[in-house]
Amino acid sequence: MIEPSLAADAPRDEIERRLRQTEDELAQLSKISGGQELDLKDQIARLRARVDALRAALWRDPTPWQIVQVARHAERPKLPDYLSALFSDVVELRGDRLFADDRAIFCGLARFDGRAVAVIGHNKGKDTRENLERRWGMPNPDGYRKAIRVARLAEKIGVPVVALVDTPAAYPGIEAEQRGQAEAIARSILVMSQLRAPIVVAITGEGGSGGALAIAVGDRLLMMQYAIYSVIPPEGCAAILWRDAARKEEAAAALRLTAPDLLAAGIVDEIVPEPTGGAHLDAPTAIAALRDALRRALDAVREEEVPALLSERYAKFRRIGPFAG
């Protein structure tokens, strides 16, 4: 039920202007009706419907940069939200047994649908204090080495791995380089490619290059509708390409980092639908959709024998990369 005066192909900023206007009206009306006897229910319902319609219009065809912003949204569901909603009996396993416990990566055992799994995921914080401790979800080598350790445990006890990917990048820091960030990522990729246990990966937010891929090698790759997966952040790409980080919107489009792009490239297997405007606007619906997708993926991979699983996993990545000649 879009406003009759708004053309179907109205420009984005026009829709945004109307949306803000309608939201203001709605807020005002709600305030008035709160303190008084006036029955404004009908009017409020009409405005709400209009807000929904405008949002839908805005999101019928979101730009790649808008999707980047949603993928990075501060209120987007994060690992703790998925952990508490989708898993039970969660037991965190800490430390890489080599140097440290990296808070930027969560590892543990838990139940999904009542059955044991290992969970590995990037762990963005919900506030500044948590984010300082967790480096905004950017792991050090210790995080990847902990992931390797827990993946090997999953292999040993015969349970699948569920990996939840949401990181801007592997942490670019002095200690990270000293302790072998590159080696840790490479090793994790190698171990996951050969792990004799099923692996289901879900890219829930930011799939930031090698820092994401380190825990994103698996048998089924799910990607939330407004998640991104990219070899470089759009800002970095713009800085290299045009020496101007401000051209990030163009770079976001050029990099083809949205879920439909990744599906088309044969990199992800399934897109998990999100509510209009993004998961942060209706987290329970988004989380429920991920539950369904994870359930189907886990059911499918549990059916397979390990040798078949491994050769299919190898082939899955082996065939990515078109060339001429």
Partner 1 sequence: MLNWLKRPKFDATVERREMPSGLWEKCPRCAQIIYVKELERNAKVCPKCGWHHRLSAAERLSLVVDEGTFEEWDGGMTSLDPLSFPKYAEKAREARAQTGSDDAVITGEGPILDVRAAVGAMDFTFMGGSMGAVVGERITRMFERARERGLPVITFSASGGARMQEGAISLMQLAKTSAAVGRLHDARLPFISVLCDPTTGGTTASFAMLGDVHIAEPGALIGFAGRRVIEQTINQKLPDNFQTAEFLQKHGMIDMIVPRTDLKEALARLLRLMLPHQPAQDARERNDDRAVAGR
What are the beta bridge partners of residue 108?
92, 119
Residues 257, 288: Cα–Cα separation, whole Å: 24
Among residues 241, 246, 288, 306, which is the contact residue for partner 1, using CB under 8 A?
Answer: 241
Write down how long the chain is. 325
Is 224 one of the binding residues for partner 1 (CB under 8 A)?
A: no
Residues 219, 269: Cα–Cα separation, whole Å: 9
Is 232 one of the binding residues for partner 1 (CB under 8 A)?
A: yes
The encoded tokens of residue 275 equal 């509510």
Q: Mind giving me the DSSP string for 89-144?
A: EEEE----SSS---TTEEEEEEEETTEEEEEEEE---SSHHHHHHHGGG---HHHH
Residues 91, 157: Cα–Cα separation, whole Å: 15
Is 170 one of the binding residues for partner 1 (CB under 8 A)?
A: yes
Is 191 in contact with 171 (CB distance < 8 Å)?
no
Residues of this chain, 178-207, that bind partner 1 according to CB under 8 A: 178-183, 185-187, 189-190, 193-194, 207
- By CB under 8 A, which span of 27-35, 147-155, 157-165, 212-220 interacts with partner 1? 212-220
Residue 6 Cβ vs partner 1, minimum distance, rounded to whole Å: 32
Is 22 one of the binding residues for partner 1 (CB under 8 A)?
A: no
Q: Which residue has the tokens 């050969």?
A: 194
Closest CB to partner 1 among residues 169, 301: 169
Closest CB to partner 1 among residues 47, 142: 142
Task: Tell me which H or E stretch contains 3.
Answer: none
Is 2 one of the binding residues for partner 1 (CB under 8 A)?
A: no
Closest CB to partner 1 among residues 163, 287: 163
Is 161 one of the binding residues for partner 1 (CB under 8 A)?
A: no
Q: Which residue has the tokens 């993928």?
A: 71
Closest CB to partner 1 among residues 1, 240: 240
Is 275 in contact with 286 (CB distance < 8 Å)?
yes
Q: Which residues touch 174 (CB under 8 Å, ≥6 apart)?
A: none
Among residues 27, 49, 98, 240, which is the contact residue for partner 1, using CB under 8 A?
Answer: 240
Residue 172 Cβ vs partner 1, minimum distance, rounded to whole Å: 3
Nearest 5 degrees, angle CA 200-CA 201-CA 202? 125
Is 255 one of the binding residues for partner 1 (CB under 8 A)?
A: yes
Residues 52, 85: Cα–Cα separation, whole Å: 26
Closest CB to partner 1 among residues 50, 103: 103
Residues 72, 70: Cα–Cα separation, whole Å: 5
Residue 22 Cβ vs partner 1, minimum distance, rounded to whole Å: 37
| Residue span 282-321 as binding mask against partner 1, x where in contact by CB under 8 A, dash where not | -------------------------------xx--xx-xx
The SS3 assignment for 235 reads: helix
- By CB under 8 A, which span of 87-95, 172-180, 270-278, 297-305 interacts with partner 1? 172-180
Binding site for partner 1 (CB under 8 A): 169-174, 176-183, 185-187, 189-190, 193-194, 207, 209-210, 213-214, 217, 229-232, 236-237, 240-241, 250, 254-257, 261-262, 265, 267, 313-314, 317-318, 320-325
